[in-house]
Amino acid sequence: MGELDQIDRQIIAFLVRDARATFAEIGTEVSLSAPAVKRRVDRLVETGIIRGFTAVVDAAAAGWSTEAIVEVYCSGTVAPQALQRAWEGVPEVVGAWTVTGAPDAVLRVVTRDVRHLEQALERIRSAEHIDHSETVIVLSTLIDRHSPATTD
């Protein structure tokens, strides 16, 4: 797919705000018919620009109020895919990135409490090639932009 046009960007921004919006609702916003919006959304999905639709869960409202940032240090060279496979089954890991600098990966972990965090850390560190980790507990969230939208 070539360059995104203004309407594609508006559709994406609308879906980021409300992934459950109907094609008709989006069409009203971007001055297109519902079928035209559907064709555009289908094309955005087909080309991989939109990778999926998801629910954003408020962890604190669900009773998971302890959040931590975990730096993970590996022994030797480990492929990112091996780390992904090791942690994708740990539901407390809500984000994971390989990074430059001293740690090999950084994880965002959300749990019910500190005891639950300790249990999650044990599972995280049990992955092959993990040497050690360093954890900081988040005291308050100042900014959290899950999916910034482009509306220009």
Are 30 and 75 contacting, i.e. CB atoms less than 8 angstroms apart? no
Q: What is the pLDDT of residue 124?
A: 96
Q: What is the pLDDT of residue 2?
A: 60
Q: What is the pLDDT of residue 150?
A: 40
**Domains of the chain and CATH, by start:** 6-46 (1.10.10.10), 66-137 (3.30.70.920)
Distance, CA of 60 to CA of 111 (rounded, Å): 9
Cα–Cα distances (Å) from 149 to 15, 26, 54, 100, 111, in that order, read 9, 15, 15, 26, 28
CA angle 136, 140, 146 (to 5 degrees): 90
Q: What is the pLDDT of residue 3?
A: 80
pLDDT per residue, tens digit, the chain (152 aa), is 568 999 999 999 999 888 899 999 999 999 999 999 999 999 999 999 999 887 777 777 888 889 999 999 999 889 999 999 999 999 999 999 999 999 999 999 999 999 999 999 999 999 989 999 999 999 998 887 664 444 33
Distance, CA of 9 to CA of 150 (rounded, Å): 6
Distance, CA of 69 to CA of 109 (rounded, Å): 6
Q: What is the pLDDT of residue 143?
A: 84
> Model confidence over 69-112: pLDDT tens digits?
999 999 988 999 999 999 999 999 999 999 999 999 999 999 99
Q: Which two tokens stand for residue 39?
A: 């064709």
